[in-house]
């Protein structure tokens, strides 16, 4: 599995010929909108910074679109979505937290989560997380302190911060007591995660 960060909350996850897009910005967003073909696209919040579904279709390649809570299975990927709260953009709205089971690894994507109080259903559904994607920038999503506390609570093997400025990233790493050198992309197999606990990986966008 290869995980690439494209800024904001946008990630490209590839496994063999399969490509998953998560929270791509739309062309109306102030964030840079990527353009690539995907088989599955997940959006956590109906906001221009995260709902650029049109940006991740290419030619005749129309992705399977997941936009909210529920259970899905497509192309061998099992996805579960759990409702949560966000105040991103200045108004209270529903953000979907996703659990994505791919290649024997459980990816937990918190999206534009605005509270560190998760529902019982979400906590139980996110059990045994391999890789956790957590927003750390505040302003409607978790700030660096809330994000780190929640990451510790959820006990993932790897933590990938997203949705931040350089200053916010520095504060998050200081909160965690870590000095992490950014990498271009994360290439990972199930066996690579054995023995890891709350390891922070910073991806360059």
Split at pLDDT 50, 70, 90, the class of 61 is: confident
Q: Which CATH architecture has domain 2-200?
A: 4-Layer Sandwich (3.60)
CB-based burial, 171-193: b 16+ in 10 Å, e otherwise: bbbebbeeeeeeeeebebeeeeb
Map out the domains of the chain as residue ranges: 2-200
What confidence tens digit (pLDDT) does each residue in 154-203 have?
999 999 999 999 999 999 999 999 999 999 999 999 999 999 999 999 99
Mean pLDDT of 92-109: 97
Half-sphere exposure of 97 (CA within 13 A, CB side): 29
What confidence tens digit (pLDDT) does each residue in 11-53 have?
999 999 999 999 999 999 999 999 999 999 999 999 999 999 9
* Tokens representing residue 88 in the block: 């991103």
Residue 109 CB contacts under 8 Å (≥ 6 apart), including other chains: 11, 22, 23, 42, 44, 97, 98, 100, 133
What confidence tens digit (pLDDT) does each residue in 119-168 have?
999 999 998 999 999 999 999 999 999 999 999 999 999 999 999 999 99
Q: How far is CA 49 from CA 3, 34, 194, in A?
A: 19, 11, 34
Q: Is residue 62 scored above 90 in pLDDT?
A: no
Per-residue confidence (pLDDT) for residue 45, from 0 to 100: 97
Residue pair 50/67 in contact (Cβ under 8 Å)? The answer is no
pTM value is 0.96
* Tokens representing residue 17 in the block: 């010929």
Per-residue confidence (pLDDT) for residue 58, from 0 to 100: 79
């Amino acid at each position: 599995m290869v995980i690439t960060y494209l800024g904001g909350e946008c990630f490209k996850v590839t496994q063999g010929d399969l490509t998953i897009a998560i929270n791509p910005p739309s062309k109306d967003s102030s964030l840079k909108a990527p353009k690539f073909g995907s088989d599955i696209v997940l959006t956590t919040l109906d906001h221009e910074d995260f709902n650029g579904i049109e940006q991740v279709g290419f030619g005749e390649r129309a992705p399977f679109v997941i936009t909210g809570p529920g259970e899905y299975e497509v192309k061998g990927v099992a996805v579960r979505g759990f409702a949560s709260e966000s105040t991103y953009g200045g108004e209270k709205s529903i953000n979907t937290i996703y659990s994505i089971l791919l290649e024997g690894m459980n990816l937990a994507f918190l999206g534009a989560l605005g509270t560190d109080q998760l529902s019982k259903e979400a906590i139980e559904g996110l059990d045994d997380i391999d890789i956790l994607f957590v927003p750390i920038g505040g302003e409607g999503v978790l700030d660096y302190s809330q994000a780190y506390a929640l990451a510790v609570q959820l006990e993932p093997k790897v933590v990938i911060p997203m949705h931040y400025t350089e200053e916010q990233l520095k504060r998050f790493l200081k909160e965690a007591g870590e000095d992490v050198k950014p990498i271009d992309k994360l290439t990972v197999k199930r066996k690579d995660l054995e023995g890891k606990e709350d390891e922070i990986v910073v991806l360059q966008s």
